[in-house]
Amino acid sequence: VIGYYNGQYVNPSEAVIAIEERGHEFGDGIYEVIRVYGGRPFLLDWHIERLLNSLEAIRIASPYDAAGYERLMQEVLDKSGEREASIYVQITRGSAVRNHLFPEQDTVPNVSIVVRPVAPKGEQTPGKLLMQPDERWANVYIKTLNLLPNIVAKQTAHDAGADEALLVRDGLMIESASSNLWFVRNGELITAPTDRYILPGITRRYVLELARDLGIPVREEKLPREQLSSVDAIFITGTLAEIFAIDTVLSHPSIPISTSLPDVALHPVTVTPDT
């Protein structure tokens, strides 16, 4: 494990951030998580594109351009020596006296990176989702540090014996706490469109590309939760979740729907990098 903070290599468990830091005090920043396979960051250009979009959305002037991020992440990865890893990169508005207003021009963003080894998943058995209300704000397309509703939803799922949350907003099935949600019905893939209410997942984008290449029809649509029993299979996608098959959806007291799907003939697939 290796940490990087504003140009210095640090131990990620060591204190390096000021108390009066905007990410620390307000969650005023954004992040990305990139998976490294065989020493190569997977879909790095798409992650950097989304990182730049997130910064722009919350009006943080980017300290680097796309090539600069690529160089920096490669440098930290090389320093770590890891080949199967995750890269966490976080950019905040900077360190300043606590004030809701954005600080003056001379405040510069703080850049943190952690490279951590990841154990390849291999064969997996299908998992469970716990259906819950989506209590996040209305701009979840921005990958901000404000993950309280996500972590509580994921913990609630875990406490109920599930692997992930299935978040429902206005009666529609949106995504999971840290992954995107997919259904298979009548040979078609169904996933929510990239509006402000989902995180436009990089793995989602990759799966859309695979589906296009394989000629599998895709419908970008949010399914009403009542239609859960009409689907043939479910899976979730994410940088760390990869492609994870789901065979059971549990109900939550606040959303009284109980749908236990029969075993699905969908085998977990591991996304492997281009060679």
| Catalytic residue set | 143
Which sign, positive or negative, has the C-alpha torsion 80, 86, 91, 94?
Answer: negative
Binding residue for ligand PDD, selected from 199, 208, 228, 246, defined by CB under 6 A: 199
Nearest residue (CB) to ligand PDD, 103 versus 200:
200
Nearest residue (CB) to ligand PDD, 5 versus 141:
141
Nearest residue (CB) to ligand PDD, 5 versus 31:
31
Candidates 196-204, 213-221, 223-231, 262-270; binding stretch for ligand PDD (CB under 6 A): 196-204
Number of residues binding to ligand PDD, judged by CB under 6 A: 15
Query: Which residues sit opposite 241 in a β-bridge?
Result: none
Tokens 């594109």 belong to which residue? 49
Of residues 1, 39, 31, 43, the one with CA closest to residue 242: 43
Binding residue for ligand PDD, selected from 157, 175, 225, 247, defined by CB under 6 A: 175
CA dist., res. 41 & res. 255, Å (int): 39
Does residue 202 interact with ligand PDD by CB under 6 A? yes
CB of 238 to ligand PDD, least distance (A): 4
Does residue 132 interact with ligand PDD by CB under 6 A? no
Does residue 18 interact with ligand PDD by CB under 6 A? no
CA dist., res. 252 & res. 259, Å (int): 11
* Residue-by-residue DSSP string for 157-204: HHHTT-SEEEEEETTEEEE-SSSEEEEEETTEEEE--SSTTS---HHH
CB of 27 to ligand PDD, least distance (A): 13
Please give the residues from 143 up to 162 whose contact with ligand PDD meets the rule CB under 6 A.
Answer: 150
Of residues 200, 183, 201, 204, the one with CA closest to residue 261: 183
Of residues 87, 105, 106, 107, the one with CA closest to residue 22: 107
Q: How many CB atoms lie within 10 A of CB 109?
A: 21
CA dist., res. 255 & res. 272, Å (int): 36
Binding residue for ligand PDD, selected from 10, 16, 17, 33, defined by CB under 6 A: 33
CB of 46 to ligand PDD, least distance (A): 8
Binding residue for ligand PDD, selected from 92, 112, 239, 248, defined by CB under 6 A: 239
Does residue 54 interact with ligand PDD by CB under 6 A? no
Binding residue for ligand PDD, selected from 110, 180, 191, 248, defined by CB under 6 A: 180
Q: What is the 3-state secondary structure (H, E, C) of 45-98?
A: HHHHHHHHHHHHHCCCCCCCCHHHHHHHHHHHHHHHCCCCEEEEEEEECCECCC
Please give the residues from 71 up to 130 whose contact with ligand PDD meets the rule CB under 6 A.
Answer: none
CB of 254 to ligand PDD, least distance (A): 19
Does residue 178 interact with ligand PDD by CB under 6 A? yes
CA dist., res. 255 & res. 226, Å (int): 11
Binding residues vs ligand PDD (CB under 6 A): 33, 150, 175, 178-180, 199, 201-204, 237-240
